[in-house]
Amino acid sequence: MKKIVAVFAVFIFSLHFSQKKTSKFSVSHNRNIETYFLAEILSVEHRKNNKDFELYKIKECSVYQPIVKKAIDKYGSLKNSKIAVLTAEINDVLMEKYSSGNDVLMKPLLYHREFPADDWVNNYTFNDNKFTKKQNEEVTSLIRNYISELHHFYVKENIGEFFEQNKDFYKNAEAEYNQQIPPAFTDAMEQFYGEGFNTYTILISPMMMWPIEDNEGRGIGTAVDLKSGAKNIYEIASPFVRVEKPGQFGYDNQFQARFLSVHEFGHSFVNKEVYKNKDKLEKFKDLFEKSKLKETMIKIGGYGDYQTCVAEHLVRLGEIETARIQQDFERSKRLEDYHMRNNFIFLPELEAKINEYNTDRKKYKTFGDFVPQLLEIFEKSTIESINSKLENIKK
């Protein structure tokens, strides 16, 4: 028994040392993000869209997410406050008019300096290549005005006191998450993608409600461009373990922590490459709409856009390749099986194709250099082959 404990202790020490040797990586939390999710809790009764699901989240998550329960107990009387109404309104407008969810708010919340500061890290503008210039300007104004009101709410209600009162929980939750992540995984990601970013930060969010089933939570990836030209990338992670006894903080599941971390950071490498090659996906757009793939992707995770479908496939490819670089073949196989069960039908062809990239890195310096070759797999498909692959997974 003593030998097992000793080996475990050495493993934990090695994990911390391997990850912390690069100052580019950290686990933390952000008061702007947490204040937003507090406002979202207060806003539920004012929602027009998704109201039933939002009510369900509160009923579920307040049972096993201690920070949610404490927030409701302390601030529940503010459910009819100005920020509650505005938070419901911005979410309804984003969904109804722009087909967007609350994930688009994460980037501007991080562009704003952490509350109680009232200025911005850099000039924030919303930009989506599906929208017109006018639409992007409308969303930019909508979000900037909302964050100004959120800052006012933070100051007026002294929300900082809540975080101070619960700082030990946040500190322990950060440590719990940090223990689950693969050593030096950001180095492996940079090796695969052929580029890197200034910092990699996991932001735990015990305030974010996401009903927990089978230790699955929600992760949101985003990035902030600094005035220096560098870029910081982030993963915002809801709890994925139910806190049911002392000593638990919501993040004690290795597979989910590793999956979310590599997945959400992966979007910063992948999305920009997919969007810049939009013109190479004209045929796939039609295939996506007319086959059963769009319906399937929406059911999986709300991926109702053809570019998003492609990006989600390529990010999952990156997860598998990162695990292989780390020689964690058990994880790579588990990821393959997990994603195929969830209908990511192009993965086998993408894995076969990526061998060309891996064996000729002199020609393909970065993943972006090879993306056009990967996009051919989507373009050369057919409605019949897509539907057939989806049916075979069901069997």
Residue 94 · residue 21 · CB < 8 Å:
no
Write the pLDDT tens digit of every residue in 43-84: 999 999 989 999 999 999 999 999 999 999 999 999 999 999
Residues 6+ apart with CB under 8 A from 186: 22, 24, 25, 196, 200, 265
Q: Is residue 21 pLDDT above 70, yes or no?
A: no
Residue holding tokens 């050593």?
183
Rounded distance between C-alpha atoms, residue 377 and residue 341, angstroms: 20
Write the pLDDT tens digit of every residue in 93-104: 999 999 999 999
Q: At residue 266, what are phi and psi to the nearest 5 degrees?
A: -60, -30
Which element (helix H / strand E) includes 372?
helix 367-379
Which distant-in-sequence residues (6+ apart) come within 8 Å of 36 by Cβ? 87, 102, 105, 109, 150
pLDDT value at residue 20: 44
pLDDT at 22 over 80: no
Nearest to 234 by CA among 225, 245, 243: 225
Tokens of 164: 């101070």
- Mean pLDDT across the stretch 382-390? 95
Res. 18: pLDDT tops 80: no
pLDDT band with cut points at 50, 70 and 90 for residue 302: confident
User: What pTM was estimated for this model as a whole?
Assistant: 0.87
List CB contacts of 135: < 8 A, sequence separation 6 or more: 98, 128
- Predicted local confidence at residue 395, as pLDDT: 65
How far is residue 131 CA from its own chain's centroid?
A: 22
Nearest to 223 by CA among 183, 275, 278, 266: 266
d(CA 31, CA 175): 18
The number of beta carbons lying within 10 Å of the beta carbon of residue 114 is 14
- pLDDT, tens digit (0-9, with 9 covering 90-100), for 178-198: 999 888 999 999 999 999 999
Quote the pLDDT of residue 143.
Answer: 98
Segment 229-248 shows an average pLDDT of 96
Evaluate if residue 12 carries a pLDDT over 70.
Answer: no
Residue 328 has pLDDT above 80, yes or no: yes
What is the pLDDT confidence band of residue 301, given thresholds at 50, 70 and 90?
A: confident
> Phi/psi of residue 270, each to 5°?
-90, -50
So what's the pLDDT on residue 23?
A: 65
State which of 211-215, 249-253, 295-299 shows the largest mean pLDDT: 249-253
Chain center to CA of 204: 11
**What type of residue sits at position 214?**
D
State the pLDDT at residue 2. Answer: 36
Summarize pLDDT for 121-148 with one digit per residue, the tens: 999 999 998 899 999 999 999 999 999 9
Q: What is the pLDDT of residues 329-338, one digit of tens each?
A: 999 999 999 9
| Confidence (pLDDT) at 393 | 84
pLDDT at 157 over 70: yes
Mean pLDDT of the chain: 92
Q: What is the pLDDT of residues 339-361, one digit of tens each?
A: 999 999 999 999 999 999 999 99
Confidence category of residue 304, pLDDT binned at 50, 70, 90: confident
Q: What's the confidence (pLDDT) of residue 63?
A: 97
Distance in angstroms (rounded) separating the CA atoms of residues 108 and 350? 33
pLDDT over threshold 50, residue 373: yes
Confidence band, pLDDT 50/70/90 cuts, at residue 258: very high
